[in-house]
Chains A and B, each alone.
Chain A
Amino acid sequence: MNLAIRDIRYHRGRFILTSIGLGLLLGVVMSMGGIYRGLFADALAVLDFTKADIWVVQQDTNGPFAESSRIPEDIKYRIQAVPGVAEASPLSFQTIQVERMDKPFRFFLIGYDLNGIGGPPEIIAGRGIRQKHYEMVVAKAMRMAIGEKIHLGLNDYTVVGITGKVVSSGGDPAAYVSLADAQDIQFKKDNDAIRNDRERIGANLAAIQSLSPSQAKFLKQNIAGITESTHTVNTVVARLEPGANLHEVQERISRWNHFRPISVEEQTKILTKGMIEKARMQLGLFRIILLIISGVIISLIIYTSTLDKIRVIATLKLIGAQNRVIIGMILQQSLLMGILAYGIGYLLILLTYKNFPRRIVLEAFDLQILFVIVIAICMISSFVGIRKALKVEPAEALGG
């Protein structure tokens, strides 16, 4: 006869409620693991979808995901000419926050060369960008409809397609526009600002006595042309030809002034070790604390439950029950509680993880490890109750 099951059957309300409580706690532990994995997935999303072998960024910087990186757009031609490079394409990144439906609306805008790499990985509704201007593809998570317009910089942009789950390393959903549009949004000034700049340049040049009026006019036009140029990008990504040596290509680009070629491996390290390391450690620590709390709670529940059964245990000992009968009763209850709580936690997270504001990635391996840890915690926790039970004297069954 399974005494653990009989006890649970009799006290099922208490057992289920306790397991639900514990299940909620384990659900939080699972969600922490999912957020942890989600941080990785988010951090690497753009890197993975771009499928580039080299990211060329501003010298002495860690690239556009870690800090500000500005390089001229036309460097792509020079990179493309490096032996071993099959394709090079400029990319622009910026985080934008605007008001939409009276709420802050934040997203990560990626500008890409329509004939190059780094565009939307897939189109799940609508179409890709076909015109050079005023069209955009947005991630599904932005919840924008096809045909919807949004005002960015100086112009309105129309959503023509929806892509999947692309996010920035910070977890903001991504939107794609043409590189020219992205540059305009980022750098193009309005007419007042342009006039103001030109006047300032003109006034500065007029102050230089050695310049003739015609020279000053000529210089003013050229300087304005440079300052009003929007042909700056954050990175140029490149794909290598099959069999090309990555290190050789990197070495060659490194020799140029002002540029740093970052491999995917280095970029991954920058994104994971640098940017999300603290969040990862915090989540890891939080998970450990929650698991310790779960262990303490299970121990207390099992210990209290054992105290409630002192007379039952004494009676069982008096009628000659072997220790294994008593140990089995306590251990099985603890394990059943752990398994039920795990199931409840898993169900909870399975039903809700899509509604979390940040990506939750549930990996089978993590869940299996957590299950093993929960079982271990249940076994260790039940030792407290078992120790108490084994100390109970049969004589405690006597008396009124």
Chain B
Amino acid sequence: MYAIEVDNLTKIYGKGETAVTALQDARFKVRPGELVAILGPSGSGKTTLLTCIGLINEPTHGTVVIDGTTVADDGWHSGIDLKRMRREKLGFIFQAHNLIPFLTAQENVMIALEINGLTRNDAKIRSVELLNALNLGHRINNYPTALSGGESQRVAIARALANRPKVILADEPTAALDTENGKNVMDLLKKLAVENHSAILVVTHDHRMVENFDRILEVSDGRITGEKNNREAG
């Protein structure tokens, strides 16, 4: 079973003469444990693709299947609980890490767990495990303002992983980091994809990072214009 199945995915903003097609006929599948990049210039439609898969932006046409559940079928699939799907199946990593400023590193991870129904105690144990695994054990009580960019992004990754999602969606996760920290984050994502058996879809325009991915989907003018498979090539 694929973690992500996208078929004929189209997103059109506006109507009539002002309609803009941001994404057209996207079609691809991602296996669990696979690290896939969506590469393209600004305005090419890669973030629109990510938001459609992330259940944030309603597709105009096409289907999206996450971990065997059809979430979109020419619009949202009827009866689908988007928030629940996002809580249980998806993890998000952002360019600006988006940690909640008034929560400590541990609380930032715990909130994702508690929202998903874990008890406070279980959330505490799991958050410590995750932060220790990401070498942030000494930072659990620090607020985001006291963390470096790399540390903040690792906390964000811990939060994204908290509920053991089948799919992790990352929007330019290395854009705000220097080369070394960016590489560390990519190594971490690669490791997590294998260990957690999660499909990781990363939107990036950073060509320095492409060698880290199993597969690269090239997007241009709203269409997937090319696909490169690093694993096969390697």
Chain B interface (Cβ within 8 Å of chain A)? 47, 50-51, 54, 56-57, 83-88, 90, 92, 94-96, 98, 100-103, 107, 110-112, 114-116, 120, 123, 143, 159, 171-172, 175-176
Scan A2-30; emit 1 where CB is below 8 A from any B CB, else 0: 01001101110000000000000000000
A399 to B86, Cβ gap below 8 A?
A: no
Residues of B within 8 A of A398 (CB): 47, 50-51, 56, 94-95, 171
Stretch at the interface among A85-93, A180-188, A197-205, A320-328: A320-328
B100 to A315, Cβ gap below 8 A?
A: yes
Give the docked Cα–Cα distance between A395 and B110 (Å): 22
Question: Other CB < 8 Å A-B pairs besides A319-B159, A322-B83, 17 of them?
Answer: A6-B103, A6-B107, A9-B102, A10-B143, A11-B102, A312-B100, A312-B102, A315-B94, A315-B98, A319-B111, A319-B112, A321-B83, A321-B115, A394-B86, A398-B47, A399-B96, A400-B172
Residues of A within 8 A of B143 (CB): 10
A397 to B94, Cβ gap below 8 A?
A: yes
Residue in A6, A319, A393, A394 whose Cβ sees the most chain B Cβ within 10 Å: A319
Give the docked Cα–Cα distance between A213 and B172 (Å): 124
B95 to A400, Cβ gap below 8 A?
A: yes
Tell me the smallest distance from the CB of B131 to a CB of chain A, in Å. Answer: 16
Q: Given A311-B98, A312-B101, A400-B95, A1 and B176 touching (CB < 8 A)?
A: no
**21 contacting pairs across A/B (C-beta < 8 A):** A1-B103, A3-B102, A6-B103, A7-B102, A10-B143, A312-B102, A315-B94, A315-B100, A318-B92, A319-B112, A320-B85, A321-B111, A321-B115, A322-B115, A393-B56, A397-B94, A398-B95, A399-B95, A399-B96, A399-B171, A400-B96
Residues of A within 8 A of B116 (CB): 320
Give the docked Cα–Cα distance between A85 and B16 (Å): 96
Tell me the smallest distance from the CB of A83 to a CB of chain B, in Å. Answer: 80
> In the complex, how many residues of chain A place their beta carbon closer than 8 angstroms to a beta carbon of chain B?
25
Tell me the smallest distance from the CB of A307 to a CB of chain B, in Å. Answer: 14
Residue in A10, A311, A315 whose Cβ sees the most chain B Cβ within 10 Å: A315
- Who on chain B is nearest to A394 by CB? B56
Tell me the smallest distance from the CB of A336 to a CB of chain B, in Å. Answer: 14
Return the 6 tightest CB-CB contacts between A and B, nearest first.
Answer: A320-B87, A10-B102, A320-B86, A7-B102, A315-B98, A395-B56
B176 to A400, Cβ gap below 8 A?
A: yes
Residues of A within 8 A of B96 (CB): 399-400
Chain A interface (Cβ within 8 Å of chain B)? 1, 3, 6-7, 9-11, 311-312, 315-322, 325, 393-395, 397-400
Main secondary structure of the interface of A (DSSP, over half): helix
Residues of A within 8 A of B47 (CB): 398-399
Tell me the smallest distance from the CB of A385 to a CB of chain B, in Å. Answer: 16
Q: Given A398-B171, A400-B95, A318 and B102 touching (CB < 8 A)?
A: no
Residues of B within 8 A of A317 (CB): 83
Residue in A1, A6, A320, A397 whose Cβ sees the most chain B Cβ within 10 Å: A320
Residues of A within 8 A of B123 (CB): 1
Name the contact of B101 in the complex, choosing from A10, A321, A397 (C-beta under 8 A).
A10
Residues of B within 8 A of A315 (CB): 94, 98, 100
Residues of B within 8 A of A394 (CB): 56, 86
Give the docked Cα–Cα distance between A319 and B57 (Å): 14
- Who on chain A is nearest to B96 by CB? A400
Name the contact of B87 in the complex, choosing from A1, A319, A393, A397 (C-beta under 8 A).
A319
Residues of A within 8 A of B115 (CB): 316, 319-322, 325
A318 to B56, Cβ gap below 8 A?
A: yes
Give the docked Cα–Cα distance between A332 and B209 (Å): 44
Residues of B within 8 A of A7 (CB): 102
Q: Given A10-B143, A400-B176, A319 and B86 touching (CB < 8 A)?
A: yes
Tell me the smallest distance from the CB of B230 to a CB of chain A, in Å. Answer: 26
Tell me the smallest distance from the CB of A315 to a CB of chain B, in Å. Answer: 5
Give the docked Cα–Cα distance between A10 and B84 (Å): 29
Tell me the smallest distance from the CB of B49 to a CB of chain A, in Å. Answer: 12
Q: Given A1-B111, A319-B87, A395 and B51 touching (CB < 8 A)?
A: yes
A1 to B102, Cβ gap below 8 A?
A: no
Residues of B within 8 A of A325 (CB): 115
Residues of B within 8 A of A319 (CB): 86-87, 92, 111-112, 115, 159
Give the docked Cα–Cα distance between A6 and B96 (Å): 21
Name the contact of B120 in the complex, choosing from A1, A3, A393 (C-beta under 8 A).
A1
- Who on chain B is nearest to A315 by CB? B98
Give the docked Cα–Cα distance between A173 and B95 (Å): 72
- Who on chain A is nearest to B156 by CB? A315
- Who on chain A is nearest to B114 by CB? A1
Give the docked Cα–Cα distance between A398 and B175 (Å): 13
Tell me the smallest distance from the CB of A6 to a CB of chain B, in Å. Answer: 5
Residues of B within 8 A of A312 (CB): 100-102
Tell me the smallest distance from the CB of A10 to a CB of chain B, in Å. Answer: 3
Tell me the smallest distance from the CB of B11 to a CB of chain A, in Å. Answer: 12
Residues of A within 8 A of B56 (CB): 318, 393-395, 398
Residues of B within 8 A of A9 (CB): 102
- Who on chain A is nearest to B51 by CB? A395
Tell me the smallest distance from the CB of B3 to a CB of chain A, in Å. Answer: 18
